[in-house]
């Protein structure tokens, strides 16, 4: 099977194309629920995207390749994709009519449509996992994050955070800045935040990161006993910042794993791809992909 065919199962509209090696750590196989969702998506009619131009935050694929993947996935005939450095840039292009739609996770689409009556959204019924990405040399740190995520899930704290910062966040209220407490431990973990997935990954008008992911990091910091410092970083600079050790962790989106992905990982590993330099945590949240449109 050609590489492009294998890639096509991994990327859904609005979801960044995560480095291939990290998908092997997500779910090992599709559940019956995931299979049903994929079948449902395949049957839906996305012809309203035909001939249209879409905007998406910069990802690690050429615009033409990304277009081919999305069209194959949705059975659509999207004319063109334009990459932007930020969600703000995408929305500006949509408002001005320079693009016809914007790709983004459903949580962000809901957040935006609740605050801007000029937009509407269409949700794609396929799940994607939110994870955190690290250098592959930081296995112990990844394991400590995994342990913390597991404890927060078991205690119900993860669900509590989701309700407070996402489902029960009033439409007229912006996410606040949760306090990330300093500990007595000397080690500090630097986490990159882009602000391109509100209210998950969010940067307030004053430039301070806020929202669900920051609240999650505050809890993880208390659980693992390490200081966490938040660093603002552009979406397209995240991998470079991680490689250069400007940051140690950033948030990422991956599709649930499949057997085809395992085969793809082997091919990419044999080719010595740079994507072998990264590892991911366990999923801490599930989102779907969506398109934002003008009403």
The answer, yes or no, to whether residue 13 has pLDDT greater than 90, is: no
Q: What percent of the chain clears pLDDT 90, i.e. is strictly above it? A: 48
Give the model confidence (pLDDT) of 14-52 as tens digits: 343 333 333 334 444 445 555 555 555 556 889 999 999
Helix (H, G, I), strand (E, B) or coil at 136: coil
Encode 124-139: b = buried (16+ Cβ within 10 Å), e = exposed.
Answer: bebbbbbbbbbbeebe
Cross-strand partners of 133: 250, 280
The answer, yes or no, to whether residue 261 has pLDDT greater than 70, is: no
- Of 204, 212, 206, the C-alpha closest to 174 is 204
The answer, yes or no, to whether residue 159 has pLDDT greater than 90, is: yes
Dist. CA 295–CA 68, nearest whole Å: 26
Question: What is the average pLDDT across 203-213?
Answer: 86
pLDDT at 1: 36
Q: Considering the domain 3-18+31-127 in this protein, what is its CATH number? A: 3.40.190.10
Say whether pTM exceeds 0.85.
Answer: no
Break the chain into its structural domains and give their ranges: 3-18+31-127, 129-286
Q: Token pair 């694929």 is at which residue?
A: 61
Give the model confidence (pLDDT) of 115-156 as tens digits: 999 999 999 877 888 999 999 899 999 999 999 999 999 999
Dist. CA 237–CA 254, nearest whole Å: 18
The answer, yes or no, to whether residue 263 has pLDDT greater than 50, is: no
pLDDT at 40: 52
What fold characterizes domain 129-286?
D-Maltodextrin-Binding Protein; domain 2 (3.40.190)
Give the model confidence (pLDDT) of 53-95 as tens digits: 999 987 777 899 889 988 988 889 999 999 988 889 999 999 9
pLDDT at 23: 35
For the chain, where are the alpha helices, taking DSSP H only? 3-8, 32-43, 63-74, 87-96, 106-115, 139-155, 157-162, 212-224, 238-243, 259-270
pLDDT at 36: 54
Question: What is the average pLDDT across 180-203?
Answer: 85
DSSP per residue, 207-241:
S-EESHHHHHHHHHHHHHT-EEEEEE--GGGHHHH
């Amino acid at each position: 099977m050609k590489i492009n065919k294998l890639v096509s199962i991994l990327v859904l509209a609005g979801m960044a194309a995560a480095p291939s090696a990290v998908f092997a750590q997500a779910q090992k196989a599709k559940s019956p629920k995931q299979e049903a969702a994929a079948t449902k998506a395949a049957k839906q009619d996305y012809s309203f995207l035909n001939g249209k131009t879409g905007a998406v935050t910069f990802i690690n694929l050429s615009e033409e390749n990304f277009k081919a993947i999305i069209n194959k996935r949705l059975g659509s005939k999207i004319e063109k994709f334009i990459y932007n450095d930020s969600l703000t840039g995408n929305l500006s292009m949509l408002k001005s009519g320079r693009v016809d739609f914007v790709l983004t996770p459903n949580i962000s689409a809901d957040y935006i449509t609740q605050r801007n009556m000029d937009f509407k959204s269409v949700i794609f019924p396929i799940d994607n996992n939110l994870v955190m990405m690290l250098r592959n040399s930081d296995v112990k740190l990844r394991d400590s994050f995994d342990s913390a995520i597991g404890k927060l899930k078991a205690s119900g704290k993860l669900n509590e955070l989701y309700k407070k910062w996402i489902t029960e966040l009033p439409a007229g209220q912006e996410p606040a800045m949760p306090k990330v407490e300093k500990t007595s431990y000397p080690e500090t973990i630097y986490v990159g935040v882009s602000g391109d997935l509100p209210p998950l990954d969010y940067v307030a008008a004053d430039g301070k990161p806020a929202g669900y992911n920051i609240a999650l990091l505050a809890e993880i910091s208390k659980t693992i006993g390490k200081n966490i410092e938040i660093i603002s970083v552009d979406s397209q600079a995240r991998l470079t910042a991680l490689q250069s050790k400007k940051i140690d962790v950033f948030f990422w989106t991956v599709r649930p794993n499949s057997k085809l992905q395992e085969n793809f990982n082997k091919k990419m590993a044999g080719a010595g791809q740079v994507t072998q330099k990264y590892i991911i945590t366990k999923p801490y949240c599930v989102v779907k992909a969506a398109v934002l449109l003008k009403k």
